[in-house]
Structure 1
Amino acid sequence: MTPRDPVRAPGARLAAVALAATLGACGGGSAGSSTAPSGPTGADDPTASTRPTPDLTEDDMQVRITIGDRRFTATLDDSAAAADLLTQLPVTVDMTDHGGVEKTGPLLAPLSLDGQPDGADPDVGDLGYYAPGHDLVLYYGDQSAFPGIVVLGRLDGDAAARIAEIDGPVTATVEAG
């Protein structure tokens, strides 16, 4: 199993899924633009998640991304950052285009950096998080390694190519799949 493959546990802890759904509903997203908080992230952040990553099935790790009339899916990795993203769903993120390789926009709250390296080299089709800006990132082109990048999972199918066809800024709604 490679580090980017979702964990295929024989069974998920139902309580963990219920907790993630409850937290997502309580802290849920809002329509319109999200605002990124300022302050430290990860290990230096006293408010960062220290809970263990829930043991979720592949189905629990699916998210739906809607941009206009286009719908995509992604499969999240089994990580503390991905689990934190699930607690924020549904969320609507106003995204801008950067360098013809990625769409980025701020999440409502920072994601945990527990267990993450200082940076990553995302592949075309990765779903990511840029920790310094608290940004969700859709990689549709080749981005080189950079500090602060966290790979959250993979866009499914031809989603990266379809996102590449969308010029300029977008509004993306991300929901549990």
Structure 2
Amino acid sequence: MESFARTLDLEFTSTCILICNDVVGSTLGPTSRKLLKEMRNIVKKLLALLCAAAFLAATPGAEASPRRIRLIFAGREAIVELYDNAAAASLVKMLPLTLDFEDYGGKERIAYPPEKLSAEGMPDSYAPKAGEMTVYAPWGNIAIFYKDHHSSGGLVPVGRFVSGAEAITVMGEGVRVEEIR
């Protein structure tokens, strides 16, 4: 990594000297040398930042894992990976809880948590896909879609099923919802 940065630094310096010589038509004066030195320092700092970012991106576990919740119902288990938003965070704060789901519109199962989930910072509408968990902000209900749905005002994305989505249609009373730690 260090040799790569050194090579880039040398190439950058050489290119700057060639450009300056071409523009000025002579060798570099004291002011040009000072500017070139400042430019080299800036490039070194940028390279250090790029190297650090590349290291973090390549390091397993460097990023926080997405939050997940488990839904337990009818002898089954489903896992939902939560989106990083205020609605999902407000749901996690209520856990664990037990919800009673019912069918709504032949596309979704709905339940009412004890408190409304936050819709802060969310878009005005959302078009959920099958296997997504949302909240319908005007009513405060959780809506889990088992069929794709058109964009609807008030729908806020909460998460997506990573397992167990095929059983959404049998979700009924007494669904236990808990955070996976």
TM class by smaller structure:
0.5 to 0.7
CA distance in 2, matches of 1:99, 1:114: 26
Judging by fraction of residues, say which structure has more helix. Answer: 2
Partner of residue 135 from structure 2, selected from 106, 109, 129:
129
Larger radius of gyration: 2
What amino acid maps onto 2:108 in structure 1?
E
Matched, 1:66 2:72: yes
- The alignment's TM-score, normalised by the length of structure 2, stands at 0.61
Q: CA RMSD in A?
A: 1.9
Deviations 1:78-128 (A, max 9, x none): 111111110000111111101221110111111111210111000111011
Matched, 1:112 2:118: yes
> CA offset at residue 73 of structure 1?
0.4
CA distance in 1, matches of 2:137, 2:158: 12
Instruction: Return closer, same or farther for 1:9/1:86 CA change in 2, 3 Å cut-off.
Output: farther
Match for residue 162 of structure 1?
Answer: 167
Match for residue 109 of structure 2?
Answer: 103
- The alignment's TM-score, normalised by the length of structure 1, stands at 0.63
CA distance in 1, matches of 2:115, 2:88: 13
> CA offset at residue 160 of structure 1?
2.3
What amino acid maps onto 1:98 in structure 2?
Y
What amino acid maps onto 1:170 in structure 2?
E
Moved over 3 A (4+): none
Q: Which runs of 5+ in 1 are unaligned?
A: 1-7, 12-56
Identity %: 31
What amino acid maps onto 1:122 in structure 2?
P
Deviations 1:45-73 (A, max 9, x none): xxxxxxxxxxxx325x1100011211110
